């Protein structure tokens, strides 16, 4: 339903109490590499570190009740809809500035470990395609607007293979493939988004979809080419970027974006949203960096 006017927004917040505040803080698990994005999912903090306990090469849906750690954002009964009103973020680290912090809704992941990482070739992912039902996993109907990334959750071994993801797009076309030539990062630290980086054939934060595609309905496979990583564990993340990244110019500074009084966009926060944050470091970001973010959301 949303808000009809500024007056309606004020009334719903102050009279009807339809406002909640979220705080998020993580201590980065490892050094963030220069020019890379980090996912922080396996970093300790509030929310706790995830261990990715799902089955190998199988999509695990995540939502606001994910047992490995999710911000407890309450669902609201339709026709009420939730909207982000403001968001801020900061970083405290001895090095690595400036940063960008991007909020995403992690819809799910598929993990690959051992020989699914240390050998090249096509690694098939088992996944039930995202549909258009009221289930939380279908909160972005047919995967419209969803994006892909490949992130490490252990230190990666030597070598930087090429990587592509084969997927079904939001229109239902199968066998679509992300951009050819995208390379991973050799010996990347834990928590690194491997498709991002500071060189040719790196794309951040997300793998470029095939021409004309605007979403991902089903992850079909990961294709590793070239020389495989010597070791490591990764997830293929499927997520919805929620709004503009928050810029953080230097350590200890805090920036806040108002989604009501600038260009009033008030990004939608779907029921079931599993909100987490990605961080881009211009320089190498010190391990144990503190990344914090907060946002207010209202509903009606």
Partner 1 sequence: MGFRTVAQWAASPDSGKWHITTFRKAVASAATVANDFIDYTYFAGNPPANFYASAPLEAALVESIRGINIPAIDGQFLKRITVMSAASSATGTTNQNQRLLLADYLLYYPFVDTDAVGEQQDMIQTAALPRYATGSGVQMMAVAQSAASTVGTFIVSYTNQDGTAGRTSSTTYTKAVAGGGALVSSTTNAVAGSQQFIQLQAGDSGVRSIQSVTFSAAGGGLMCLALVKPLYHFYSTQECRRTTSGNLESYGAASQFETVLHGPPVEIKNGAVLGIVGLGNAGTLASSVLTGILETTWS
Task: Give the residues lining the site for partner 1 (CB under 8 A).
Answer: 35, 37, 97-98, 100, 102, 140, 144-146, 170, 196-206, 208-209, 211-215, 240-245, 247-253, 255, 262-265, 267-268, 280, 282-283
The least CB distance from residue 210 to partner 1, in Å, is 8
By beta-carbon proximity to partner 1, the closer residue of 44 and 141 is 141
By beta-carbon proximity to partner 1, the closer residue of 1 and 230 is 1
By beta-carbon proximity to partner 1, the closer residue of 161 and 267 is 267
Residue 68 structure tokens: 């490995």
Cα gap 23→18, rounded to integer Å: 17
The least CB distance from residue 222 to partner 1, in Å, is 20
By beta-carbon proximity to partner 1, the closer residue of 59 and 280 is 280
- Identify the burial level of 70 via C-beta atoms within 10 angstroms of its C-beta, where 0-12 means exposed, 13-18 middle and 19 or more buried: buried
Strand ranges for 70-215 from DSSP E: 82-92, 99-112, 121-124, 147-152, 162-169, 176-177
The least CB distance from residue 61 to partner 1, in Å, is 19
Collapsing DSSP to helix, strand or coil, 251 comes out as coil
From the CB of residue 198, how many other CB atoms can be counted at a distance below 10 Å?
Answer: 14
- The phi and psi torsions of 11 (rounded to 5 degrees) equal -65, -45
Collapsing DSSP to helix, strand or coil, 137 comes out as helix
By beta-carbon proximity to partner 1, the closer residue of 57 and 146 is 146
The least CB distance from residue 124 to partner 1, in Å, is 26
- Local structure of residue 16 (DSSP, 8 states): T
The least CB distance from residue 215 to partner 1, in Å, is 5
By beta-carbon proximity to partner 1, the closer residue of 30 and 216 is 216
For 163-182, b/e burial (b = at least 16 CB within 10 A) is bbbbbbbbeeeeebbbeeeb
By beta-carbon proximity to partner 1, the closer residue of 223 and 242 is 242
Residue 12 structure tokens: 């719903």
Closest of 149, 126, 158, 122 to residue 240, by C-alpha: 149
The kind and range of the H/E element at 10 are helix 6-14
**Residue 166 exposure: Cα atoms within 13 Å on the Cβ side:** 13
The least CB distance from residue 204 to partner 1, in Å, is 4
By beta-carbon proximity to partner 1, the closer residue of 89 and 222 is 89
- The phi and psi torsions of 23 (rounded to 5 degrees) equal -125, 140
The least CB distance from residue 35 to partner 1, in Å, is 5
Collapsing DSSP to helix, strand or coil, 220 comes out as strand
The least CB distance from residue 236 to partner 1, in Å, is 19
């Amino acid at each position: 339903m949303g808000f009809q006017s500024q007056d309606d927004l004020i009334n719903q917040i102050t009279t009807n109490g339809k406002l909640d505040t979220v705080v998020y803080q993580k201590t980065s698990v490892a050094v963030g590499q220069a020019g890379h994005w980090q996912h922080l999912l396996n970093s300790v903090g509030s929310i706790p570190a995830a261990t990715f306990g799902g089955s190998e090469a199988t999509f695990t849906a995540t939502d606001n009740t994910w047992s490995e750690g999710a911000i407890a954002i309450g669902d609201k009964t339709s026709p009420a809809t939730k909207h982000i009103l403001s968001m801020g973020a900061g970083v405290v680290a001895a090095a690595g500035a400036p940063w960008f912090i991007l909020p995403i809704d992690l819809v799910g992941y598929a993990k690959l470990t051992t020989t699914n990482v240390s050998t090249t070739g096509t690694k098939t992912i088992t996944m039930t395609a995202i549909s258009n039902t009221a289930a939380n996993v279908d909160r972005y109907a047919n995967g419209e607007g969803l994006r892909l990334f490949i992130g490490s959750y252990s230190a990666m071994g030597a070598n930087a293979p090429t990587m592509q993801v084969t997927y079904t797009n939001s229109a239902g076309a199968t066998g679509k493939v992300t951009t050819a030539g995208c390379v991973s990062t050799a010996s990347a630290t834990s928590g690194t988004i491997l498709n991002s980086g500071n060189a040719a054939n790196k794309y951040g934060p997300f793998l470029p979809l095939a021409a004309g595609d605007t979403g991902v309905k089903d992850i079909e496979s990961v294709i590793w080419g070239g020389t495989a990583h010597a070791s490591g564990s990764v997830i293929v993340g499927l997520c919805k970027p929620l709004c503009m990244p928050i810029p953080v110019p230097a350590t200890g500074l805090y920036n806040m974006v108002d989604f009501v009084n600038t260009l009033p966009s008030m990004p939608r926060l779907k029921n079931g949203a599993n909100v987490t944050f990605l961080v881009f470091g211009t320089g190498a970001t010190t391990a144990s960096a503190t990344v914090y973010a907060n946002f207010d959301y209202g509903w009606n």
